[in-house]
Structure 1
Amino acid sequence: MSAREFILPDLGEGLTEAEVVAWLVAPGDEVAVDQPVVELESAKSVVQLPTPFAGVVESLGGEVGQVLHAGEVLMRLTPVGAAAEAAADAPAATARADVPARTAPEAAEPGIAVPTESAGEESGAVLIGYGTRATAATARAASAPSRFGAGRAIGGTSAAGPTGDGTADDRPASPPTGAQDLSPAGETPHRDEGDDPAVAEAHAAHTLEHGRHSPVISPIVRRLAREHGFDASELLGTGPDGLVSRADVEAFIAELEEARAGRTAPHAGLPTVATATPPTPDTRAGEHRVPLDRMQRAAAAHFSRSRREIPEATVWMDVDATELLAARRQLNDATGERFGVTALVARFVVAALRRHPSLNASFDAERDELVLHDGVNLGLAAQTPRGLLVPVVHGAERMSLRELRDAVQARTEQSATGAFPPDALSGGTFTLNNYGTLGVDGSAAIINHPEAAMLGIGRLVERPWVVDGALAVRTVTELTISFDHRVCDGAEAAAFLTYVAGCIERPISLLADL
Structure 2
Amino acid sequence: MSREFLLPDLGEGLTEAEIVAWLVAPGDTIVIDQAVVEVESAKSVVELPSPYGGVVASLFGEPGQIIHAGQVLLTVTDPAGSDAPATAPTAAPAATPTAVAASEGSGAVLIGYGTTESTRPPRRVAAGRFGGASAASVPVAAPTDAAQTTEPVRSEPARSEPVRSEPARSEPAASTSTGSASTGTLDPARRSPVVSPIVRRLARDNGFDASTLIGSGQNDLVLRSDVEEYIRGRTVSATSTPTSAPTPTSAPVPASTTPATRNDGSAAIRIPISGLRKVVSARLTTSRQEIPEATIWLDVDATALFAARDQLLQATGERFSVTALIARFVLSGLRQFPELNSSVDTASQEILQHSVVNLGIAAQTSRGLMVPVIHDAHAMSTRQLRDSLAELVARSADGTFAPSALTGGTFTLNNFGSLGVDGSAAIINHPEAAILGIGRMIERPWVVNHELAVRTVVELSMVFDHRVCDGGTAAGFLTYVARCIENPVSLLADL
TM-score normalised by L of structure 1:
0.67
Residues 231, 411 of structure 1: alpha-carbon distance in 2 compared, 3 angstrom cutoff: farther
Q: Residue 177 of structure 2 is aligned with which of 203, 222, 226? A: 203
Aligned to 1:409: 390
Give me the identity figure in percent.
Answer: 47
Compute the displacement of 1:499 (Å). Answer: 2.4
Q: Alignment partner of 1:154: what SS?
A: coil
Would the aligned equivalents of 1:30 and 1:55 in 2 still touch at CA under 8 Å?
yes
Q: Which amino acid counterpart does residue 18 of structure 2 have in structure 1?
A: E
Match of 1:486 among 442, 447, 467: 467
Cα distance in 2 for residues equivalent to 1:491 and 1:137? 53
User: Is the CA contact 2:179–2:237 (under 8 Å) kept in the aligned structure 1?
Assistant: no
C-alpha separation between the residues in 2 aligned to 1:152 and 1:426? 35
CA spacing shift, 1:386–1:286, aligned 2, 3 Å: same
Which residue of structure 2 lines up, in the alignment, with residue 462 of structure 1? 443
Q: Deviations over 1:382-415 (max 9, x none)?
A: 2334443323333333433233223323332333
Q: 1:306 to 1:49 in 2, by over 3 A?
A: same
Which of 336, 339, 343 pairs up with 2:317? 336
> Are the structure 2 counterparts of residues 5 and 228 from structure 1 closer, same or farther at C-alpha, using a change threshold of 3 Å?
closer
Cα distance in 1 between the residues matched to 2:324 and 2:449: 30
CA distance in 2, matches of 1:71, 1:275: 47
How big is each residue's C-alpha offset from its partner over 1:26-49, in whole Å with a ceiling of 9 and x where there is no partner? 46543455x64432344576x123
CA gap of 1:236–1:462, structure 2 versus 1, over 3 A, is closer
Per-residue deviation at 1:145? 0.9
Aligned to 1:192: none
Alignment counterpart, residue 327 of structure 1, candidates 291, 308, 311: 308
- CA drift at 1:222: 5.1
Contact 1:225-1:231 at 8 Å conserved across structures: no
Shift of 1:306: 1.1
Give the aligned partner of residue 449 of structure 1.
430
1:234 Cα deviation after fit:
8.1
How high is the TM-score relative to the length of structure 2? 0.69
Deviation at 1:443, TM superposition (A): 1.9
Q: Which residue of 2 aligns with 1:105?
A: 95
SS at match of 1:323: helix
SS at match of 2:307: helix
**Aligned residue for 2:199?**
223
Q: For residues 82 and 318 of structure 1, do their structure 2 counterparts lie closer, same or farther at Cα, with a shift above 3 Å needed?
A: same
CA distance in 2, matches of 1:83, 1:275: 61
**1:328 Cα offset (Å):** 0.8
Cα contact 1:379–1:390 (8 A) shared by 2: yes
Structure 1 counterpart of 2:49, one-letter code: T
Structure 1 gap ranges (5+): 85-102, 108-112, 176-197, 207-211, 266-272
The code of the aligned residue for 1:391 comes to P
- With over 3 angstroms needed to count, the CA separation of the structure-2 counterparts of 1:131 and 1:415, relative to structure 1, is closer
What is the match of residue 38 of structure 1?
37
**Contact between 2:22 and 2:128, CA under 8 Å: does it hold in 1?**
no
Q: Are positions 1:66 and 2:65 aligned together? A: yes
Give the secondary structure class of the aligned counterpart of 1:199.
Answer: coil
**Structure 1, 367-376 or 443-452: larger mean CA deviation:** 367-376
Correspondence 1:226-305 to 2 at 5 A: 226=202, 230-233=206-209, 254-263=233-242, 289-294=268-273, 295-305=276-286
The gaps in structure 2 that reach 5 residues or longer are 82-92, 147-160, 168-172, 181-187, 245-254
Aligned residue among 325, 331, 335 for 1:350? 331
Q: CA deviation at 1:18?
A: 2.8
Asked if the contact 1:459/1:477 (under 8 Å) is kept, the reply is yes
- The equivalences for 1:181-192 within 5 A come to none
Q: Which has the higher contact order (CA 8 A, sep 6+)?
A: 2
Cα-Cα RMSD: 4.7
